[in-house]
């Protein structure tokens, strides 16, 4: 079975067993955003932790090496997401992407926010006018740096 | 002149005069991400503040009502951004978008993070292994709510 | 089984049993547009109501938690719809979308009609020249509002 | 000059003169959605009314026959709209399009809502939880009808 | 089984049984273009006629309500057709579409040829230089007409 | 000046002078669909006839050799047309294209309707329920024929 | 089974049996390019010849009427081919397509090279600097000819 | 001026002066397909020959170094060509591309026909049933060869 | 079974057996990049070597002729890769592709780096600031050369 | 003037003055790939060096701050490059991209080759069978690392 097929099984098994993503993350003691992304096929899951999750979700043992392998990443079914919850982040990029780029350059110089040395955090914060979803993208600044391996 | 033409003029004038986005934001006392996005054509700028900016940038007075009008938003030149600094945010969405969706639903219920009742904040945070770009997307949670106007 | 597979089963079972969408909506006492969209995979259906529908349609009980989970939304098979009945709404957007945007801004200010705090209603209205399809999109106005969670 | 060029001029002239779409519509005694769509290049404007608008907006007289000609319609710059205000209608179609299709067929039979024998109306309706944007698409039902001209 | 699956079965069964589209159309006494389009999944087939066709093609009885339901229309596998026989019609639209539009407006006024109150007829006509395929698109003229349901 | 630029001039000049396509076609004694398509940039116009049209439309003489050259054909601004009047023909292809293909093969054998040895005719035909647009595509049948030049 | 499924079987069976395309073509006494294209799903194969091929490849007899039917043509999996061997022809079209068009018009007048009354020939020709692939596209010239069926 | 702008000038100047592509090719003693492609912006033209052509076409002298530089190649305005004369070659690729690939591999082994060590030749050949366009693509066979530079 | 299906089996079997790509390459004494690409479906694998690999991976013997056949190449699931590890190479092409083109022309003349007479090498090189991935693309220079087969 | 406009001027001025990219790079003592990419609009050029280049190319002084600003990167005119010299790198990615990904993971672990801490080097290397283009992509390995800024 492919990673994609195991991902489908994971999604179904989680619902059937009534497990939350938080419970799955707690079971392997990893951050919940990371764990959810990994279970949705976006990160390798080390064999030891994969074994725990495979047990909780009653998957076949053969899933373990597949979950432990680095997957082909990129989880959106279309280039422009159609799901409203995900689309809002794409929209924010359409509206604020240019400004974020300008300000990274103004404050840090030429370079990028790494999406590899990176973490995402999602919090629920109260506000008099209604709870807020606060999503923090936190990546190391990588300056453009023209370096070569020593020869 | 169209809003797009004024945006091109703003970009060129800012460089020619050596003004930072922060200085422009300070001049109108608005957050810097908002101001930068607005000057890049993504938000209307109230006439009074537009007048200040038009003055600083030596634009024609006729820019003021155009800047004050609600623009056609959507600032990326291609559906999938090619600029590396902007692309990393798109990539984060490809890798973490599904997880963020699942966790918004797990923690808040069915609904979305608003991209309208919303702010973005960009910070430079120190870290022993190198400075970090921390971008916070902060939007009101909007639950799916089947409501109609009273008739 | 995935939500998509259950949706296919629902479509087939409804036809085989000769049930109308209205009958299905009445059985769970929910608006018919909402119920139809939900059964076509666009909304979660609370477990209690899902159980009623699963019974009427003779689906497997394992469908209930899947129907109750928030789905990956976005139901059109192509970005531009090819079905004539659906296309007319896309066409209306091509022809009137710009005008609707301008008038929302003129009458309400800068912001959007929410598609989340939202309902759709479809009515058959008589007219001397032939019955009319009247579809009402009714969403809360959301003003652009640069707000952050308290820190 | 092409219709597209006159549309750009109209957009700029309206802002410069501080005219509302409603004032322009009132001046020619036509519905405001129709007038706005027409001025944005989506409908021909009969010469007499075009003359009034050309006068109010100080355009060149040569605009009149161009405004009076049937334009190449289709006003969105991309197949999937990026502007948030317009996108919400596209999103509603992604989420409710399938349901609307099913219910048109259930209530009227096989056919479509015409987008030609059609009107759009935009209203601001109060609601305790905030004003609502109510957009009504009202089109004649056209049944699929296999008819030929007499020979 | 879905409509798409029944369409595949119909295509295979017709070939296996050596039936012509004309014979199938004659059996239900409907025009041959309509019948072929319907059997290819583009129109609902009333149950009585569906029963005849299901019998001739030895399909399962469960096909009848599926064939009788209004399908999701739009039968081309790609937006621009690759099959040469179908492509020529797309090409004709690329070359003559603009002219047809202009002349509909010149002869009828602003409006469209309906594709719903519509029939297609395909004839083989002799010509000294070789037989000709004559395809007639015959649709009711629908003038743009800004009408609303009475309130 | 390129052909595209002359086409824009032709479109504007025709409106300014109030000439119909029919009048332009009559002036050069050619079918009106052909003439309109040619003036919209889809066919070369022999120099003698081009001279007549250039005179009527007050274009520069330098237009004549450009109009007389074979143009780069393909007149739709997007692969899927957005203009409603043109779209209906694309829709008819989506719904009836497969059937037309099958019936060409059933009645003529394997091959195509030529779009080169081809004419289009647009007629206004009366019908008790309203005038009809009747568009006839009339092309020579070309059988698939595996022929080579003699060597 | 559909034509696509039989094509997959043919591809696999040919490899398993170690047959060359040339041997298959020789067995039915047809040109090898034609035969290969036909077996890859691009041409109907008359029943008598299909029977020979079905026998050689050990396919089910039910394949014969499917192979004998005119297929939905268009064999490339993506609009721009990714396979390097096929891509070079697409590249040649990008680089020389405009020139070929100009020279067909200069030497023959306005019209096209038919791809229907057409043959392709592939030869291996020696050259001091290495063997050459020589592919000849040989199609009847079809002049643009505005002809109609007699009425 | 860019190469694209000079290409536009060349196209217009050739028509205005009534020069054939053959005459231009003869003037620089190069094959006509090569010359036409080069003048359409697909090949660099050595300065000496560029000077001849610039003279014949009355272009500015500054064109010479631009024509002599290697251009950004790829001359089709859309990924799938819409011009019928060019489209037929794309169609031939859709129908015969897979077969050509198989036969190159069967006759030569794994590899490609080079589109760089390559020539195209267009001939008009007589045939009792009408003249034929014969286009020969002649490229060196390049076997897949895993070679590295010596280190 | 198709090549694609065998590729999926290979991917799964390698993980299940815990074999590295390097071990598979060593077993057939071929470069590791070549072997990995071949096992991922991008190169034919000669029968003798295929037999070794099929043995190590416990695949069915019927895989051997399929692996030995030239595959339809082009291994990325989307035109723009979404996987971050692969995307970085696409990004490098976006940023440096134009420069590489200019410098190939400046140093070698008009032509290309062959991707057929070509090898890729991936090395891990140390650097004080962290290990580096060094990927070398090494292809024969092919000058544009207008050559034809002798006739 | 925008960066894109200055890039066009640079391209034209370099040809007019007969300067090589190497001479421009030498003048500012920077690597030639970097300099070429920068002059083609892909990197900011520090003001001091920009001044040198602006002098050599006779551009307006106002170019200096524009060249010194971080540009919107992404230099290919289409998502899939059509120029043959650039396309070969895209093709290499199609054929070897999957293998490169697997081997980066096998040799380094989960992570990417940075395209920011990165250099490209192009060399001409001799080989008995013809000179070779050797392009080295040299980027720091970045392991996936779930790190956050200290709070």
pLDDT at I66 over 70: yes
pLDDT at H130 over 80: yes
Please report residues of J whose CB lies closer than 8 A to that of G95.
84
For residues F45 and F55, give the distance between their C-alpha atoms in angstroms, rounded to a whole number: 14
pLDDT at J132 over 90: yes
Share of chain A above pLDDT 90, in %: 96
Largest Cα separation within chain A, whole Å, is 61
Q: Which region holds residue E148: left if phi is over 0, alpha if psi is between -120 and 50, else beta? A: beta
DSSP state of H2: -
What is B3-68's CATH topology?
434 Repressor (Amino-terminal Domain) (1.10.260)
Residues G76-83, mean pLDDT to the nearest whole number = 93
Q: Quick: pLDDT tens for E79-92.
A: 999 999 999 999 99
Average pLDDT, chain I: 97
Chosen from E43, E98, E111, E126 to mutate, greatest number of chain F CBs within 10 A: E98
Q: Quick: pLDDT tens for J42-56.
A: 999 999 999 999 999
- Tell me where in chain F the CATH 1.10.260.40 domain(s) lie: 3-68
pLDDT at C126 over 90: yes
Q: pLDDT grade, residue H75 (50/70/90)?
A: confident
**Residue B79 to residue D81, Cβ atoms within 8 A:** no
Please report residues of G whose CB lies closer than 8 A to that of E81.
74
pLDDT of residue J150: 74
pLDDT at A104 over 80: yes
Q: pLDDT grade, residue C99 (50/70/90)?
A: very high
pLDDT of residue G150: 74
pLDDT of residue D65: 97
For residues I78 and J90, give the distance between their C-alpha atoms in angstroms, rounded to a whole number: 12
Is-catalytic flag, A114?
A: yes
pLDDT of residue J5: 97
Average pLDDT, chain G: 97
pLDDT of residue B83: 97
pLDDT of residue F40: 98
Comparing alpha-carbon positions, the chain H residue that sits nearest to E87 is H91
Is-catalytic flag, A119?
A: no
Complex ipTM value: 0.96
Q: Quick: pLDDT tens for H53-69.
A: 999 999 999 999 999 99
Q: A47 with A68: CB under 8 angstroms?
A: yes
Sheet of strand J132-143: strand arrangement: I111-125, I132-143, J132-143, J111-125
Q: pLDDT grade, residue B114 (50/70/90)?
A: very high
pLDDT at C56 over 80: yes
**Residue G87 to residue J91, Cβ atoms within 8 A:** yes
Of I44, I116, I149, the CB nearest to H142: I116
Comparing alpha-carbon positions, the chain A residue that sits nearest to J73 is A101
**Between chain F and chain J, are at least 3 CB pairs below 8 A?**
no
Share of chain G above pLDDT 70, in %: 99
- CA Rg, chain E, in Å? 19
pLDDT of residue D8: 97
Largest Cα separation within chain H, whole Å, is 61
Q: Quick: pLDDT tens for D3-26.
A: 999 999 999 999 999 999 999 999
Distance from CA of B107 to the nearest CA of A (A): 8
pLDDT of residue A151: 66
Instruction: Tell me which residue of I97, E85, D93, E48 sits closest to H72, measured CA to CA.
Output: I97
pLDDT at G151 over 70: no
Residues G19-28, mean pLDDT to the nearest whole number = 98
**Residue F82 to residue D73, Cβ atoms within 8 A:** yes
**Residue G70 to residue F119, Cβ atoms within 8 A:** no
Q: Quick: pLDDT tens for D116-134.
A: 999 999 999 999 999 999 9
pLDDT of residue B151: 65
Q: pLDDT grade, residue D151 (50/70/90)?
A: low
Q: D73 with D42: CB under 8 angstroms?
A: yes
Question: Helix, strand, or coil here: H114?
Answer: strand
User: How many angstroms separate the first and last alpha carbons of chain B?
Assistant: 43
pLDDT at C84 over 80: yes
pLDDT at H121 over 90: yes
For residues G138 and G113, give the distance between their C-alpha atoms in angstroms, rounded to a whole number: 8
Question: Helix, strand, or coil here: G140?
Answer: strand
Instruction: Tell me which residue of E93, E86, E79, E83 sits closest to E133, measured CA to CA.
Output: E86
- CA Rg, chain D, in Å? 19
pLDDT at B75 over 90: no
Q: Quick: pLDDT tens for J99-131.
A: 999 999 999 999 999 999 999 999 999 999 999
What is B84-143's CATH topology?
Cyanate Lyase; Chain: A, domain 2 (3.30.1160)
pLDDT at C151 over 80: no
Comparing alpha-carbon positions, the chain G residue that sits nearest to F32 is G146
Q: F138 with G149: CB under 8 angstroms?
A: yes
pLDDT of residue F7: 97
For residues C72 and E55, give the distance between their C-alpha atoms in angstroms, rounded to a whole number: 40
Average pLDDT, chain D: 97
Q: pLDDT grade, residue E150 (50/70/90)?
A: confident
pLDDT at F53 over 90: yes
Please work out, in degrees rounded to the nearest 5, the angle formed at the alpha carbon of residue G83 by the alpha carbons of H43 and G112.
Answer: 55
- Tell me where in chain G the CATH 3.30.1160.10 domain(s) lie: 84-143
Please report residues of B whose CB lies closer than 8 A to that of A111.
85
pLDDT of residue I75: 80
Report CA-CA distances (Å) from G66 to E13, E17, G38, G62: 10, 11, 12, 7
pLDDT of residue A75: 80
Q: What is the dihedral of CA E71, E77, E81, E83, to 10 degrees?
A: -110
Average pLDDT, chain J: 97
pLDDT at E151 over 70: no
Q: pLDDT grade, residue B150 (50/70/90)?
A: confident
pLDDT of residue F5: 97
Comparing alpha-carbon positions, the chain I residue that sits nearest to B129 is I129
**Residue H91 to residue E80, Cβ atoms within 8 A:** no
For residues A86 and C72, give the distance between their C-alpha atoms in angstroms, rounded to a whole number: 9
**Residue D80 to residue A80, Cβ atoms within 8 A:** yes
Of E43, E101, E106, the CB nearest to F86: E101
Q: pLDDT grade, residue I150 (50/70/90)?
A: confident
Chains in contact with G, where contact means 3 or more Cβ–Cβ distances below 8 Å, are E, F, H, I, J
Q: 3-state secondary structure string, D18-86?
A: CCCHHHHHHHHCCCHHHHHHHHCCCCCCCHHHHHHHHHHHCCCCCHHHHHHCCCCCCCCCCCCCCCHHH
Residues B135-150, mean pLDDT to the nearest whole number = 96
pLDDT of residue H125: 97
Distance from CA of F63 to the nearest CA of G (A): 19
Please report residues of G whose CB lies closer than 8 A to that of E126.
149-150
Cα atoms in the 13 Å half-sphere on the side-chain side of G107: 23
pLDDT of residue C148: 95
Q: Quick: pLDDT tens for A10-58.
A: 999 999 999 999 999 999 999 999 999 999 999 999 999 999 999 999 9
Sheet of strand A111-125: strand arrangement: A111-125, A132-143, B132-143, B111-125
Where are any strands of DSSP class E within chain C?
111-125, 132-143
């Amino acid at each position: 079975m492919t990673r994609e097929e195991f991902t489908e099984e994971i999604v179904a098994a989680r619902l059937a067993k009534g497990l939350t993503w938080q419970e799955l993350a707690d079971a392997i003691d990893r951050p919940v955003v990371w764990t959810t992304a990994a279970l949705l096929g976006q990160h390798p899951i080390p064999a030891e932790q994969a074994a725990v999750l495979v047990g909780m979700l009653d998957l076949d043992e053969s899933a373990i090496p597949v979950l432990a392998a680095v997957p082909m990443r990129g989880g959106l079914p279309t280039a422009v997401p159609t799901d409203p919850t995900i689309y809002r982040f794409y929209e924010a990029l359409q509206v604020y992407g240019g400004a974020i780029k300008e300000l990274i350059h103004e404050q840090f110089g030429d370079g990028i926010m790494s999406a590899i040395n990176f973490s995402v955090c999602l919090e629920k914060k109260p506000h008099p006018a209604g709870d807020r979803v606060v999503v923090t993208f936190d990546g190391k600044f990588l300056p453009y740096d023209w370096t070569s391996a020593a020869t």
